[in-house]
Each structure stands twice: as structure tokens, then as C-alpha cells.
Amino acid sequence: MSRPRLDPDDAAAPRALSIVDFLTDGALAAFLAEASELLGHAISLRSMTGALIEARAGEPPWLVHDPTPHDQPIARALETAGANAALVDLDPHRVLAPLMARERSIGGLLIEGDPSPRLRRVIELLASMISDLCTRERLLQARHDELELLFRVSSLFVSAQKLEHILEITLQAMDRVLGADAAIVHLHRGDAPRLQPIAHVSLSEAFIENFDANNAPRAKDPALAEGRAIAVPELRTIGLPAFVELFETEGLSSMLACGLVHRGRYLGAIRLFRRTDAPFSREQQALLQTLAEQIAGALAAAEHAEQERQAERMRRQLQVASDVQRRLLPADRFAFKGIDLAARYVSALSVSGDFYDVIELGPHIGVVVGDVVGKGVPAALLMASVRSLFRAHALDLEPNEHMVNEVVRRVNVTLTRDTLPSEFATAFFALVDPAARKLTYCSAGHDPPLLFRHHALHEPPMRLDCGGALLGVDESHAFERAVVQLHPGDTLIVYSDGVTDAMNFEHAKFTRTRLIESVRDQLVSHPDSPARDIVDRVVWDVRRFVGLNTAENDDLTVLVARV
């Protein structure tokens, strides 16, 4: 089966979804033909129009016949099935099993003759299995499209294009993924007290001129000022005659709006419209809110850069980038049974794009530490994209040792295809099984983490260097994984190059040797040190070594895990 490219809920799809959208070959139709001969009952695959679908030699390897009057009862039954997947007796000699995808009919299995109760049950189970596969395909593609949209929005806002053009492209992409028919963004420009239209898609000039965003439906809703998304499912019932007439003239039926808020400051609002009666779903509402947060952060960064003189532009970019990164980083300490985790990110004046994340994967824990190339807003947004990719793919796969290098491979493919040649990243990704005390990891060009064995503290720590090359360079690169058995008292330290490359006034680096000495001294003098104390010790030793020479140093990230 194939993956139809649709919005997460498909409520505003341009045409009815059909089982044909999921076919890649004629195997299903051919199987039903063989089953018909075996069971002595004609079983056929039907589209939403009731038309017969048969396997054939050629391209495509299936044939959808024209619907006949005899097929009309099938089409009516599928149209009225709703979320009900129960068998439908069309007449004494025909039984229809609807095929569903997320509680919507996409076609059916028709069995002719007078099937026995057992055969009816078999057909019902077969239809349920096909429906489940189609639903999974839709959900997977929806998640892919959402991730692609988030990544594309991030990439757009680091480009050198005009703001209006970037927003227009963003709206077009959002319309496709969120199933909207039209969209518009209003912003406060300069000191102007009123919102002004900045970008729009599929709306007439008359609508744009007459739509007063300052007094529009729900414009005063506190949720908008807080950056939350709100839905208006029926615009014709809002009770504002002037706006009702405007919406009816434009053919708009429902609206989804979200405030663009950055650090508590209301920048404007984004509104999506539909011309059908299908309301926006909760999933689409949540996705718009995520996108609005991303857009608001990027708008604020652009605004800061424009307000500064040429000499101050870089400083402003670095500050915004640092703020973006801090907002995206998780907590610095975590509560997990069987393992003690702590982390610290220390921002420098030059922001490089360090990041870390800790992902709960059922009884397992996903850990990622990375660093993207570059500085400033582009690096921060690229960091946000890389972090989102790791989280999305880790949550998408079954947590086992085989998924570790597969997650890294997927992130690498996306980065290689969708970033500039000068944009790449290093990362260390690991899956921890606290119950089995097992660590499965893959390092993509990252500084090798160090594993201190409790029973051998005075021996060199184990370097976790299995993996592969940098992310974003070669999409065909094969990454390896390794499994390490952990023991009580073992200590893992994962760090960015900002630790080992930290430089003092004599231009001497802190180095991996000093890092090992710092951790070992803490473990020897305080064997029961929690992970937080080890992190603090490393950061303190680096700061003491560097002194006041902060201008020449990079961000540093330290993550410690103790068994």
C-alpha cells in the first residue's frame, strides 16, 4: 500500500479519500479473486463510488471500472457508514464490509451469494485488518507531513528572503498540511497600534481590505494574547452581522486562529479558514499552536535584527539564538527509576547551537546530545530542527536496540536533503534500558562520551566512539550501533566540544585529560555523588580553568548518567 499525502484529519481534503489511494499493486484485488474461487462466493474490492476494482497487467496494476446503476446501493451505504464499520446487507444476496481509515469510509469488500455466518465473520475480520493498515498509513504520513512542515518553516526563517514572502510560503505550506482553504497573517508593524495584513493566501482583495483584525470574531479572546489556538466552527453564527456578511461573500465557513506571542508580547495573529462545513480538529489546533510559537520566535528575531545598527546586528542575533535554545532544552535534572540523570547547558557569548534532550520511551530512556555548525539565529533554528527530528523519529519507532542507528540514519537523510551544504551537525544518541542496565548508542561525529566503571575508576574510562560521520553530509552513510552492559555505580558523561576546547588566557585548552581528571576526582572523593554534583564539578573546573576568558569560548553542554 502507499501513503496518501493528506492533512492529519483529512477533514478538508479536496476529494473523498478512496481505497485506491492506498494501492501500490493489484495484490489485494487479485487476492480477493483467488478467495472467491476458493470460498465459492464472489468477493470484490469496491471504491467509494461502488465501482469494481480488479487486478490487471499494466500500469497501474489495477483497474477501476465505471460505476453502474447496480453499484449505487454500495456507494450510498459507504457514504452513510460514518464511523460504523459493521456489515451492511444490501439485499438478500449481497453483503458489504466497509473499509475505514480513522473512522471514515474509503471503500468496501462486497461478497455475493448468501454467505454463512462464519464467512461473514471472516470478511468482517479481513475488512478490519485492511482498515487498520490504512489508518496506520494515514497517521504515519500525517506525522511525516507535520515534521516536514516544521522543518520547512525553520529553514524559511533563516533565509535571506523578505518577511512577507517567507510568510506567504509558510501559509501555503500550512494550508496543505492543515487542510485550510485560505489564510492570513496580521502583525503590529513599528509603533502602529492596529494590526496590519502582512501575508495572505486565497483571499480576495476586498476581504483583506474590509477584514478588521482588531475587532474580528474572538479577537479579544485572552487565549489569542497568550499564544493559544482557538477554533470557530461556524462563522455564520458569530453574531456580528458585518463579519457574517463578509465571510458569506468570501465563502468561508470555519476558522482556526492563533496569536503570535513572543516572551509575553503579542505580535499579531494567524488565521486559517475553510470553505466547507468540516471543522478543524484538535490535532490541527495543536499543530497550528506549535507553528505559531515557531513563527513568533522567528518574527521576534527578525524584529531585533532590524532595530539594531549594523554593528549591533550580530550581538542581537546571538542573544535571540541563545534564548531560543534555552526555551527548547528540557529540564536539567530528571527522575527515572534505576538511573540518575542530570545535565547542564552553559551559554557563551558566541552561540554555537549545542542541544540535549531526554525522551521517555516507555520503560526506556532516549538521550541525545549534539552540536550544529554555525552561530546565531540560523544555528539556533537548525538546532531546533535537529532536536525535533531526533524526538519525532525516536517516538515513531519501537524502543529497542535496533532503532538507535535507524533514528540517526533518518535524521541524517532529512538534514542532507533539506539543508544547505554548509549546514551539518554532530550528535550522540543512546537508548538506556534501566531495568536491564543496558546502553545502546550511536555517535555521529560527536566527541566520544566517557564511561567510568565503578570497579575500575583508576583505569582509563571507556570511550563510546561507535557510530559514523557527521549528520547532514552524506545521506547514504551507514551508521553503526554498539551495546554496553552497565553495572551499579557506573558513570557516563556526554559532553560537547565546548568543554574540552575551553581555552584560558594562555590559549591552553581544557582537554579531555582534564575532563577525565575532574570526573575521576569527584568519584574517588565522593563515591556516592549524584549526577547533579558531577555536572556541577565539571562546569566549575572548566570555569576555574578559563577564568575571565569567556569571549574566546563556546557553549558547553554536559550530561551525566549514573547507574
DSSP 309-344: -HHHHHHHHHHHHHHHHHHHS--SEEEETTEEEEEE
Q: Is residue 415 part of a domain?
A: yes
Query: Do both 338 and 299 map to the same domain?
Result: no
Query: Do both 216 and 358 map to the same domain?
Result: no
Query: Do both 101 and 216 map to the same domain?
Result: no
Q: Is residue 6 part of a domain?
A: no
Q: Is residue 528 part of a domain?
A: yes
Where does residue 192 rank: exposed (0-12), middle (13-18), buried (19+ CB within 10 A)? exposed
pLDDT of residue 314: 63
pLDDT of residue 296: 84
Which candidate, 562, 47, 71, 8, places its Cα nearest to that of 338? 562
How many CB atoms sit inside 10 A of residue 235's CB?
20
Q: Give the bridge partners for 270, in sequence order.
A: 185, 258
Which candidate, 154, 27, 373, places its Cα nearest to that of 146? 154
Per-residue cell: 509: 585548552
Query: Rounded to an integer, what distance in angstroms lies between the CA atom of residue 513 and that of residue 28?
Result: 62
List of residues 6+ apart from 157 with CB closer than 8 A:
166, 294, 295, 298, 301, 302, 381
Helices (H), 251-309: 282-307
How many CB atoms sit inside 10 A of residue 93's CB?
11
| Residue indicated by cell numbers 573546573 | 541
Contact indicator for 15, 7 with CB cutoff of 8 Å? no
Query: Do both 25 and 117 map to the same domain?
Result: yes
Where does residue 279 rank: exposed (0-12), middle (13-18), buried (19+ CB within 10 A)? buried
pLDDT of residue 262: 87
Per-residue cell: 6: 493528506
Q: Is residue 303 part of a domain?
A: yes
List of residues 6+ apart from 99 with CB closer than 8 A:
19, 105, 106, 107, 108, 109, 127, 130, 131, 134
Query: Rounded to an integer, what distance in angstroms lies between the CA atom of residue 287 and that of residue 324?
Result: 19
For 117, the 3-state DSSP assignment is helix
pLDDT of residue 369: 96
pLDDT of residue 154: 63
pLDDT of residue 144: 64
Contact indicator for 99, 109 with CB cutoff of 8 Å? yes
How many domains, in total, are found in the chain?
3
Which candidate, 499, 505, 514, 463, places its Cα nearest to that of 484? 463
pLDDT of residue 2: 43
CATH number, residue 428? 3.60.40.10
Per-residue cell: 14: 479536496
Query: Do both 168 and 126 map to the same domain?
Result: no
For 393, the 3-state DSSP assignment is helix
DSSP assignment letter at 456: G
**Low-confidence spans in the chain with pLDDT less than 70:** 1-16, 82-84, 141-163, 190, 304-311, 313-328, 331-333, 348-352, 374-377, 549-553
pLDDT of residue 11: 38
Contact indicator for 300, 262 with CB cutoff of 8 Å? yes
Query: Rounded to an integer, what distance in angstroms lies between the CA atom of residue 50 and that of residue 110?
Result: 9
Buried/exposed code over 397-431 (b: 16+ C-beta within 10 A; e: otherwise): bebebebbbbbbbbbbbbbbebbeeebbbbbbbbb
H or E segment to which residue 35 belongs: helix 27-39
Percentages helix, strand, coil for the chain, rounded to the nearest 5?
A: 40, 25, 35
Query: Do both 48 and 94 map to the same domain?
Result: yes
Q: Is residue 12 part of a domain?
A: no
Query: Rounded to an integer, what distance in angstroms lies between the CA atom of residue 256 and that of residue 218?
Result: 10
Q: Quote the pTM value.
A: 0.46
Contact indicator for 165, 190 with CB cutoff of 8 Å? no
Buried/exposed code over 313-345 (b: 16+ C-beta within 10 A; e: otherwise): eeebbbbbbbbbbeeebeebebeeeebbbbbbb
Half-sphere exposure of 54 (CA within 13 A, CB side): 9
Which candidate, 323, 331, 309, places its Cα nearest to that of 264? 323
Q: Is residue 524 part of a domain?
A: yes
Phi and psi at 372, nearest 5°, equal -100, 155
pLDDT of residue 319: 66
| Backbone dihedral region for residue 486 (phi beyond 0: left; psi -120 to 50: alpha; all else: beta) | beta
Range of the domain at 103: 19-139
Q: Give the bridge partners for 370, in sequence order.
A: 355, 427
Q: Is residue 506 part of a domain?
A: yes
Q: Is residue 449 part of a domain?
A: yes
pLDDT of residue 215: 86
Compute the radius of gyration of the chain from its Cα atoms: 28
Choose the final residue of a domain: 139, 167, 191. 139
Query: Do both 297 and 168 map to the same domain?
Result: yes
Query: Do both 108 and 165 map to the same domain?
Result: no
Distance from the first to the final alpha carbon of the chain? 44
Query: Rounded to an integer, what distance in angstroms lies between the CA atom of residue 331 and that of residue 367?
Result: 13
Q: Give the bridge partners for 43, in sequence order.
A: 111
Query: Do both 208 and 96 map to the same domain?
Result: no
Contact indicator for 70, 90 with CB cutoff of 8 Å? no
Q: Give the bridge partners for 190, in sequence order.
A: none
CATH number, residue 115? 3.30.450.40
Query: Do both 235 and 125 map to the same domain?
Result: no
Cis, bond preceding 60 (omega within 30 deg of 0): yes
List of residues 6+ apart from 283 with CB closer than 8 A:
8, 9, 142
pLDDT of residue 132: 86
DSSP assignment letter at 20: G
455-486 pLDDT, tens digit each: 999 999 999 999 999 999 999 999 999 999 99
Query: Do both 36 and 164 map to the same domain?
Result: no
Query: Do both 432 and 515 map to the same domain?
Result: yes
